[in-house]
A and B are shown apart, each in its own frame.
Chain A
């Protein structure tokens, strides 16, 4: 099997279902899939650089350049370094090829593609941006922290949901660029299609990977606890695939939806999602009235509960 057929990179904005798909594909008899290793993100960080005020570049490329190591040599060694760990894991698992997913790779895609180009096959998973924002908000509250890639956005916006919607736009734009540049070497999968008809989507993805579909992949994957690594906690709490997580954003306050729509609409439409109304015509007086009614309503509900108790 050629090097480019051995490696599969599963990409998507965090909270897009990448762990679910990793677990499904990792149950195939040919595909070994560890939990998140951070290898590709780590390799991407090697190419990141700063430029001083007098135009001097600071970073690995520049630093090694001073001792006669050129960019191609560095990339080649990074590829060997990353692939060695994954090849070893694959061999131990008794399989033929590996699949790596790290939900934060989507933010470093230009550097990852620059290094690995067509040496791996790419699966790009996209989920509705407002559902991603809601889920990221929930995840950040439960984990009581922001991963550095998301913290960059939180620092720029006082509203976490708006920060996460912006993060989704950036990650999705990176995915779109990769899909365009990689052509047949990349496939787009929508989370909503995956959970609505997992059998059909799995078959389509496996066809892209030139692998035959296998019986019981979904059932086995959902009951498998062997491949737990640094990964998404929520996927392991579910014993079935369903569409319950689709459209959760619609219960957000109308004002919030309008704000998020103005951020995400263009990218939503690029990926075939419906445009969301982004007009918010409510006057400050009406917004205040809405707030007053909400308070009175909550008081009425708690008084009703006390009365019933």
Chain B
């Protein structure tokens, strides 16, 4: 199961800062996470939530913030 704590932990482990990360802070479109890190985050989400995200669901609406990620995972499991 993916949680807010897990996402924050991932950001820190990958060299990011969570100081200014709120639940609705854009992660990828704001360049807070680069594309390599964002791909890794999506792979962690898939693994933790035990889902495979279809290409059409890989959108900023679904994955660009902590709230969006949690909502998408809840809807998909």
User: For the complex, would chain B's binding face be called helix, strand, loop or mixed by DSSP majority?
Assistant: helix
Question: Are A303 and B42 within 8 A (Cβ)?
Answer: no
- The main secondary structure of chain A at its interface with chain B is helix
A286 at the interface (CB under 8 A from B): yes
| Cβ 8 A contact of A301, one of B40, B42, B43, B60 | B60
B71 at the interface (CB under 8 A from A): no
Within 8 A of A (CB), among B35-52: 35-36, 38-40, 42-43
Q: Is A250 an interface residue (CB 8 A)?
A: yes
Neighbouring B residues of A303 by C-beta, 8 Å = 59-60
Q: Which of A164-190 contact B (CB under 8 A)?
A: none
A304 within 8 A of B: yes
Contact at A293–B15, with CB atoms within 8 Å?
no
- Is A294 touching B28 in the complex (CB atoms < 8 A)? no
Determine if B34 is an interface residue (Cβ-Cβ < 8 Å): yes
Q: Is A289 an interface residue (CB 8 A)?
A: yes
Contact between A297 and B58, CB atoms less than 8 A apart: yes
Tell me whether A290 is interfacial, beta carbon within 8 Å. Answer: yes
In this complex, the interface size class of chain A, counting residues with CB under 8 Å from chain B, is 10 to 19
Asked whether A253 and B59 contact (CB < 8 A) given A290-B43, A297-B42, the answer is: no
* Chain B neighbourhood of A301, CB < 8 A: 28-29, 35, 60
> In whole angstroms, how far apart are the Cα atoms of A301 and B15 in the complex?
22
Q: Tell whether, in the assembled complex, residue B29 and residue A304 are in contact, meaning their CB atoms are under 8 Å apart.
A: yes
Chain B contact patch, size range: 10 to 19
Shortest distance from the beta carbon of A157 to any chain B beta carbon, whole Å: 22
Q: Is the CB of B60 within 8 A of A286?
A: no
B35's contact among A250, A254, A292, A297, by CB below 8 Å, is which?
Answer: A297
Find out whether the CB atom of B28 lies under 8 angstroms from the CB atom of A250: no
Q: Is A210 an interface residue (CB 8 A)?
A: no
Asked whether B43 lies within 8 Å of A296 as measured between CB atoms, the reply is no
Which residues in A have their C-beta under 8 angstroms from that of B63? Answer: 300
Interface residues of B in 8-64 (CB under 8 A from A): 15, 28-29, 34-36, 38-40, 42-43, 53, 55, 58-60, 63-64
Check if A148 is an interface residue, CB within 8 A of chain B.
no
Identity of the chain B residue whose Cβ is nearest the Cβ of A294 in the assembled complex: B39
How long is the Cα–Cα vector from A298 to B58 in the complex, in angstroms? 10
Interface residues of B (CB under 8 A from A): 15, 28-29, 34-36, 38-40, 42-43, 53, 55, 58-60, 63-64
Which 9 residue pairs are nearest across A and B when measured between Cβ atoms? A296-B58, A304-B60, A296-B55, A300-B59, A293-B39, A294-B39, A293-B42, A300-B60, A304-B29
Q: 25 A-B residue contacts at CB 8 Å?
A: A251-B34, A251-B36, A253-B36, A290-B40, A290-B43, A292-B55, A293-B39, A293-B43, A294-B36, A294-B39, A296-B55, A296-B58, A297-B28, A297-B35, A297-B38, A297-B39, A297-B58, A298-B35, A300-B58, A300-B60, A300-B63, A301-B28, A301-B29, A301-B60, A303-B59
Apart from A293-B58, A297-B58, A299-B58: 7 A-B pairs, beta carbons within 8 A: A254-B36, A290-B39, A290-B43, A292-B55, A295-B55, A300-B58, A300-B59
